[in-house]
Amino acid sequence: MHTLYRIQLLILMLFATSTAMAQKISYSQPEKDDYKNTEFEIIGKVSGNILVYKSDRGDYAVSVYDNGMELKQRVKLDFLPKKVISMDFVAYPDRVLMIYQFQFKDAVFSYCATMSPDATFASEPLLIDSTRIGYYSKENKVYSVEVSEDKNRILIYKINQDKEDNNLFYTFLYDGNMHLVNNSKVMLPMQTKKFFLNNFNLTNDGDFLFNKLERGSGKDYVISGSMIMKHPLVDSFEVTPLQFHSQLLDEIKMKLDNQKGTALITAFSYKQKRGNVEGLYVYKYDFKNQKTLYEKTVAFSNDLKAAARGESSTAAAFNDYFIRKVINTADGGFLMTAESFSTSSRYQPWNRWNYMYGPGGYGGYYSPYYYNPYYSPWYYNPGYWNNSQGLRYHYDKVIVMSFDDEGNMQWNNFVNKSQYDDNADLYLSYMMVNVGNQLRFLYNDLDRRSYILLDNSLEPGGKVNRMPTLRNLDKGYTFMPRYGKQISSHTVLIPCIYRNYICFAKIDF
């Protein structure tokens, strides 16, 4: 009897230990130079070290943390110029590629430096390319970077727009060791100013895929589009038209499946201009064999709209939803998450189309010289995104939809949350973590004027479970979940604010 009791007690102790370990949180301590307005990027976990890049008014550094988030060293990047235009990192198990561009006099230069796990550099940076833009150019971001899923192919490219009806691509394709595979010069006609480019992707084989889209006269909807593809050793584009069948689309997203050799496009669809969201447009392209697999629209039922609605009417239930994430599944299907997001202000009414494609409603920024395809509301820049006086942000329900390999909806469910804040949205929205057998949704909930980080799990069949409160939640740290990054299969790093300083919390599931 005593033996049985001891076995039961041991099992309970082991279970309690595993539960605690499943939600272990380790915090970094504030560093004197990391104020709330410090910009950062989580690089990842490299040879046991956790690296975070930080930038503040021309000072650049990388903080190196151990597995317990104790600071090992802070390395200043003194070799960088004072005004770095952009910075991209590609993390490997034993090194990090740091690809950056800067302007010197009337030219923009693109370089790549190789960083060790302790944030040191053993060799000189590699010059990739340079471009003369003139002294008075207002838009000096020339180069963009795409990285394949396996990180064995890296593409640096620029798009010249010296003529409105023609884009001239210059591409530089490298392998994971920054050996040049191919460079190309390719032209792509644009017809009119209503056409724009987005959804740039790079396959594991080095194929360059993106969308060329056309907006209607009101600039609110996409009325036509094409899949554009460039093979790594071919200096031409292959164009595959998309058939919208008189539908109007917005917020078009692309997701690659390198295992299946397919590209998936999703977008919310409308029947008429300024109408309500009626369903989801789904298009799958076989880029291995260069053919369309299917193209359809999945209509949202009234029951689904009724479940999705917040304060809107049933017909307008999805008008505030934005596609956040698309995840490929092993059977060739996919999961899609969308979040209800809106703002309210006494000065300006809410308009969905102000938030999808950047200033002017178009995807990217057009300059007389070069085209910058990037616009991301998820980039941490507190000086830009949080200075709207009198504006209230609302981040509410998250819907998860499951589709089979033919694009048919299998099930759907909701993570029910209701968040708002005035003038700033740093602590709102959520982070999704893929731990293999389930998805975890981390988000803040306001409790007695303080934010508490909550954890919901989504099982493979679609069931949503409220998980126990995360252990070791320190009241002094306020999490910013949507700026977090998954750095291993069961570990995430989430930035926090602690006494007006930027800190980081590592959560082990």
Strand partners, 61: 54, 76
pLDDT at 17: 40
Pairing of strands 84-91, 279-286: unpaired
Q: What is the pLDDT of residues 55-66, one digit of tens each?
A: 998 899 999 999
Mean pLDDT across the stretch 11-39? 70
Amino acid at 92: Y
Q: What is the pLDDT of residues 424-447, one digit of tens each?
A: 899 999 999 999 889 999 999 988
DSSP 206: -
Mean pLDDT across the stretch 387-401? 88
Which of 221-230, 246-255, 354-363 bottoms out in mean pLDDT, i.e. has the lowest?
A: 354-363
Residue 48 has pLDDT above 60, yes or no: yes
List the one residue out of 264, 267, 114 whose CA is nearest residue 203.
264
List the one residue out of 174, 234, 197 whose CA is nearest residue 362.
197
Dist CA 216 CA 228 (whole Å): 20
Residue 273 has pLDDT above 90, yes or no: no
Q: Is 441 helix (H, G, I), strand (E, B) or coil?
A: strand
pLDDT band (50, 70, 90) for residue 69: very high
Cβ neighbors of 256 (< 8 A, separation 6 or more) are: 149, 201, 203, 209, 262, 263, 264, 287
DSSP 354: G
Q: Residue 169: is it exposed, middle or buried by C-beta count within 10 angstroms (0-12/13-18/19+)? A: buried
CA angle 37, 43, 48 (to 5 degrees): 125
The phi, psi pair for 6, rounded to 5°, reads -65, -40
Mean pLDDT across the stretch 95-124? 96
Average pLDDT, the chain: 87
Per-position DSSP letters for 170-202, written without gaps between them: EEEEEETT--EEEEEEEEEE--STTEEEEEEEE
Conformational region of residue 223, where left means phi above 0, alpha means psi within -120 to 50, and beta covers everything else: alpha
Q: What is the pLDDT of residues 354-389, one digit of tens each?
A: 655 443 333 333 333 344 443 343 445 555 445 566
> By the 8 A CB rule, do 334 and 255 touch?
yes
Q: Which two tokens stand for residue 292?
A: 């369309």
Domain coordinates of the chain in residue numbers? Answer: 1-30+426-509
> By the 8 A CB rule, do 288 and 261 touch?
yes
pLDDT band (50, 70, 90) for residue 325: very high
pLDDT at 244: 87
Cα→Cα distances 292→159, 243, 394, Å: 27, 11, 38
| % of the chain surpassing 90 pLDDT | 71
Residue 458 has pLDDT above 50, yes or no: yes
Three-state SS across 369-422?
CEEECCCCCCCCCHHHHCCCCCEEEEEEEEEEEEECCCCCEEEEEEECCCEEEE
Residue 242 has pLDDT above 60, yes or no: yes
Burial 305-343 (b: 16+ CB within 10 A, else e): bebbbeebeeeebbbbbbbbbbebeeebbbbbbbbbbbb
Entry pTM: 0.89
pLDDT at 251: 86
Dist CA 39 CA 16 (whole Å): 38
The sign one gets for the Cα dihedral 471, 476, 480, 485 is negative
pLDDT band (50, 70, 90) for residue 338: very high
Mean pLDDT across the stretch 167-176? 97
Dist CA 431 CA 482 (whole Å): 5
